[in-house]
Chains A and B, each alone.
Chain A
Amino acid sequence: MENSEKTEVVLLACGSFNPITNMHLRLFELAKDYMNGTGKYRVIKGIISPVGDAYKKKGLIPAHHRVIMAELATKNSKWVEVDTWESLQDEWVETAKVLRHHQEKLEASNSGNQQDSPSLERSGRKRKWTEQREDFSQKKPPQPKMKGMPEVKLLCGADFLESFGIPNLWKSEDIAQIVGGYGLICITRAGNDARKFIYESDVLWKHRSNIHLVNEWITNDISSTKIRRALRRGQSIRYLVPDLVQEYIEKHNLYSSESEDRNAGVILAPLERNTAEAKS
């Protein structure tokens, strides 16, 4: 297939990145190789979108640090960059909204350039912390996909896919939007479990052609939780995270028993919001 006939794709990864690890970075590489390898897609950009502090997850350190670490981690990447929009919002933002934000941004910049695909150059972090607000009062209907437009797809691991099953964590219309309106690229070791999960869900099954399962042959268990635990125990995290990230963590002494206790006993933002809305 000619390059011009391929669908251009932007991979968006949402998450805590608390801290970012080599595993997170591998997700992008595996996804890009896979999507490009189908012959139908051309991955043009990767975006890391760290969650805002209002997510209230236990052990979540300030977004400021998590963003900087992600930027250090992607310093040597030609195509993956960090976006701070989500982390700058006062309230927690649903993933579907983050996807919509980036899709609209992509379409806006694309309409500006007639035939050229979006620049591969990474934009620097231009926004300041105190700027950037967004009004969430309006709920927009899902936009129809414009032909020839790059598509934003959500990049994730299998745990993310299976989190769709956790009660009150996701709104069903959001799940439908994510897999129906955008698409999912899920990197997993246990492909069969993921397939079973999709099979057992009507909404996922309906949009299964939009869910790409990519096999991860290397057992890569570098979870942020384990990184934080190792740090609390004075154990080395070298070669599990990029060197610059390890140095930054050490310099600022970011993770400790105290930091792990942040938000202890506080209810996670999506759970709070979805149960509140269910009651109203």
Chain B
Amino acid sequence: MKSRIPVVLLACGSFNPITNMHLRLFEVARDHLHQTGVYQVIAGIISPVNDKYGKKDLTAAQHRVAMAQLALQTSDWIRVDPWESEQAQWMETVKVLRHHHSELLRSLPQTEGPGDKPVSPAPAAVPELKLLCGADVLKTFQIPGLWRDAHVQEIVEKFGLVCVGRAGHDPEEYILKSPILRKYQHNIHLAREPVQNDISATYVRRALGQGQSVKYLLPDSVITYIKDHKLYTNDSPSTGNSTPRNKDKTS
């Protein structure tokens, strides 16, 4: 039997805060890839964005990372990686992918070749790193100036995309509209979420600001953390709130 290609899923985003919907993305994507018969998902990585991204109401990365860690305590295959959030500057998604890909290669068992020189592992055993995202992110590829064409190409050509459907979005249409995405559509996997579960973090923040319950939308441990640290209250200071929007995102 032909062995499956190992895959690691990487999700970039604000995770402000992490919700059950974010966690579902991983589950749905894994099921989808497994059902193709071609892939075996071996790990998932959540990479919260750097504070310097400048998005409105973005809570400090330290908190966003901590909350994601709490949320993933009970997961045996998904973990948080704070590398992106710890960098001095905001960085493009493709750079995060490159970093994690080289980390992946470095962590593989090296086989010794003749003369005791380490030889790189056989190609079939090298896991593929794929970007996991919701359909809303796929749509943002169209926004002028938000993504560099060369980066989009590298993402879909070199790595691959797993895109989970979301209400109000038509990912197939987004692919058809973009020449780059069309060219590499074989490397874009569209997973359908059969259970519509549109928990937006924006809604969660608003509910928290109004003193309303968010129980069962995010893990209990994350809710406790939010309350303990008084995050997302109407008067809590948040990084990026008073600074002007960062214009040169693509630099």
Contact = CB atoms under 8 A, between A and B. Distances in A.
Given A33-B212, A220-B197, A238-B23, A26 B28 contact: no
B84 to A, nearest CB: 23
B195 A221 contact: yes
19 contacts: A22-B20, A26-B215, A26-B217, A33-B212, A77-B215, A217-B203, A218-B198, A218-B203, A219-B196, A226-B194, A229-B194, A230-B194, A230-B195, A235-B31, A236-B27, A236-B31, A239-B23, A239-B24, A240-B20
Contact of B194 (A219, A235, A243): A235
Contacts of A235: 31, 194
B198 A219 contact: yes
Given A217-B203, A218-B200, A240 B213 contact: no
Interface of A: 22, 25-26, 29-30, 32-33, 76-77, 217-223, 226-227, 229-230, 234-236, 238-240, 242-243
A240 B27 CA distance: 11
Contacts, number: 65
A235 to B, nearest CB: 5
Contacts of B196: 219-221
A226 B220 contact: no
Contacts of A33: 212-213
Contacts of A76: 220
A62 to B, nearest CB: 24
B205 interface: no
A141 to B, nearest CB: 38
B20 A239 contact: yes
Interface string B10-32: 00000000001101100110110
A238 B215 contact: no
